[in-house]
């Protein structure tokens, strides 16, 4: 959650200080490149995880990256060999890709190990602003809701919220974490590889570019182990349904052009859709088939007075939470307006904190079945409420473009 608005789309962990597939619309690349972390410094140039015929196998059966694809990546400023050896840590502003078509996220196998995921839970300092900055006559804003105490989701999480999980990524400040939701893909019914989260969990907005090493872990810490227990956890314990790397991400142009680190800038357009692929190739099943569920997205949800109840789900990481547990808040939504010219947002009472950003907001649709209607975007300096964008035509455009890009795949 952005505390109107801290940069803790998630949190910064110690691991970023201790350790060292791409799909480019602009150059029409179709390969997802897997770079083995164990090969770092070894001079091994092999790669795996290809999803098309663009990569070829060498005599040892390993998948290699054709020279023409390497050249096209270099045109976008990415040298695959240098990237896997740590070049992704270069956050020089001139080299930080920020345009919508510039998204690059090569898989680095083994990067998101249990320690690195667990250590992404130390939140950065809150840098929010006072609620007075969003009051006054800026559109329609209802009275501040009473806090609703976040409740623990029953374990195993997969039995109660199979679509929910964590998004991990690297930012200039360090290793970060958000929450996210598996959503349906209209172009691939029953076989979705699409994930919904917040825009600020994938792109820094007007002052930066795309974050790196973005990966989704459904049902993270499925059995609800404590932080102490997770210190000795295996990857299967924390990621029972695997690590899914984002081979494409898309957010709103409004977020890229106007999203800010504080004050709620761009919040009404703070949403993003990821397309993901399994780190280790998997068994050929889609993400939806793997977790057994995906939520529909409702882009025509009624105005606030007609929405009786919304449930927000996430992994809050800022105090008093530690980021390891999945929690939920259910409340009747009110309205929040940041800028009168922008769409009015939903707001609910909730004590979840940073790390819950991007988590899905679910309400019953016209058919009575649950559908995603928003995602956690912002909250106050001190916890007590959350706000999320009302998903309309812009959000549907982002969603449809990602679905169409991978139609039939």
Q: Tell me the three-class secondary structure of 25-86, residue by residue.
A: CCCCCCCCCEEEHHHCCCCCCCEECCCCCCCEECCCCCEECCHHHHHHHHHCCCCHHHHHCC
- Name the DSSP letter for residue 295: B
Query: How many CB atoms sit inside 10 A of residue 165's CB?
Result: 32
pLDDT of residue 385: 95
Per-residue pLDDT of the chain (409 residues; tens, 9 = 90+): 665 443 334 443 333 333 333 222 222 233 334 443 322 222 233 333 333 323 343 443 334 556 766 776 777 778 877 887 899 999 988 889 999 999 989 899 999 999 999 988 533 333 333 454 454 434 688 999 999 999 999 999 999 999 999 999 999 999 999 999 999 999 999 999 999 999 999 999 999 999 999 999 999 999 999 999 999 999 999 999 999 999 999 999 999 999 987 778 899 999 999 999 999 877 899 999 999 999 999 998 876 667 889 999 999 998 899 999 999 999 999 999 988 888 899 999 999 998 999 999 999 988 889 999 999 999 887 779 999 999 999 999 999 999 999 997 7
Tell me how far the alpha carbon of residue 2 is from its chain's centroid: 13
User: How wide is the angle at C-alpha 110 spanned by C-alphas 107 and 112, nearest 5°?
Assistant: 85
- The helix/strand/coil state of 309 is coil
pLDDT of residue 280: 86
**Whether the Cβ atoms of residue 122 and residue 174 lie closer than 8 Å to each other:** no
List the one residue out of 117, 119, 50, 36 whose CA is nearest residue 83: 36
Peptide bond into 5 cis (omega under 30): yes
Task: Please tell me the distance from the alpha carbon of residue 231 to that of residue 224, in angstroms, as a whole number.
Answer: 13
For residue 405, give the H/E element and its range.
helix 393-405
Residue 47, C-beta contacts closer than 8 angstroms, at least 6 positions apart = 33, 34, 35, 36, 55, 62, 63, 64, 65, 80
Query: Is the torsion defined by CA of 331, 334, 338, 341 positive or negative?
Result: positive
Residue 129, C-beta contacts closer than 8 angstroms, at least 6 positions apart = 4, 5, 262, 263, 381
pLDDT of residue 50: 33
The CB-side HSE value for 150 (13 A sphere, CA atoms) comes to 24
What are the tokens at 266? 């761009």
Task: Please tell me the distance from the alpha carbon of residue 121 to that of residue 321, in angstroms, as a whole number.
Answer: 9
pLDDT of residue 9: 46
Length of the chain: 409
List the one residue out of 24, 49, 23 whose CA is nearest residue 36: 49
- Which stretches within 239-284 are classed as H helix? 253-258
**Whether the Cβ atoms of residue 86 and residue 144 lie closer than 8 Å to each other:** no
Gyration radius of the chain over CA positions: 20
**Whether the Cβ atoms of residue 257 and residue 206 lie closer than 8 Å to each other:** yes
What's the CATH class of domain 2-20+86-405? mainly beta
For residue 293, give the H/E element and its range.
none
Which sequence spans correspond to the domains of the chain?
A: 2-20+86-405
């Amino acid at each position: 959650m952005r505390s109107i608005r801290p940069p803790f789309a998630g949190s910064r962990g110690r691991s970023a200080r201790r350790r060292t597939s791409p799909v480019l619309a602009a150059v029409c690349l179709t390969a997802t490149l897997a770079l083995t972390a164990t090969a770092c410094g070894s001079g091994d140039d092999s790669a795996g995880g290809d999803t098309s015929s663009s990569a070829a196998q060498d005599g040892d059966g390993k998948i290699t990256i054709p020279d023409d694809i390497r050249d096209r990546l270099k045109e976008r400023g990415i040298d695959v060999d240098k990237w896997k050896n740590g070049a992704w840590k270069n956050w020089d502003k001139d080299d930080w890709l920020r345009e919508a078509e510039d998204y690059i996220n090569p898989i680095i196998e083994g990067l998101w190990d249990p320690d690195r995921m667990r250590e992404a839970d130390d939140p950065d300092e809150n840098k929010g602003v006072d609620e007075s900055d969003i009051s006054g006559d800026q559109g329609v804003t209802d009275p501040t809701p009473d806090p609703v105490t976040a409740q623990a989701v029953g374990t195993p999480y997969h039995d109660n919220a199979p679509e929910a999980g964590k998004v991990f990524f690297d930012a200039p400040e360090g290793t970060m974490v958000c929450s996210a939701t598996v959503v349906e893909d209209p172009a691939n019914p029953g076989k979705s590889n699409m994930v919904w989260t917040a825009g600020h969990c994938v792109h820094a907005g007007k002052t930066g570019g795309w974050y790196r090493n973005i990966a989704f872990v459904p049902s993270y810490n499925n059995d609800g182990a404590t932080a102490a227990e997770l210190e000795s956890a295996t990857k299967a314990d924390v990621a029972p349904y695997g690590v899914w790397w984002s081979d494409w991400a898309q957010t709103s142009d409004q977020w890229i052009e106007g999203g800010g680190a504080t004050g709620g800038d761009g919040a009404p357009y703070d949403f993003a859709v990821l397309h993901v692929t399994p780190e280790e190739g998997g068994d050929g099943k889609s993400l939806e088939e793997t977790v057994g569920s995906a939520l529909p997205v409702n882009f025509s949800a009624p105005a606030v007075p007609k929405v009786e109840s919304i449930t927000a789900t996430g992994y809050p990481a800022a105090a008093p939470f530690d980021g390891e547990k999945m929690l939920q808040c259910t409340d009747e939504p009110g309205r929040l307006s940041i800028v009168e010219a922008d769409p009015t947002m939903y707001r609910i009472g909730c004590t979840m904190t940073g790390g819950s950003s991007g988590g899905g907001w679910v309400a019953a649709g016209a058919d009575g079945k649950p559908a995603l209607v928003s995602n956690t975007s912002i909250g106050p300096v001190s916890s007590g409420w959350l706000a999320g964008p009302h998903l309309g035509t812009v959000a549907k455009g982002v969603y449809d473009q990602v679905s169409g890009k991978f139609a039939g795949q």
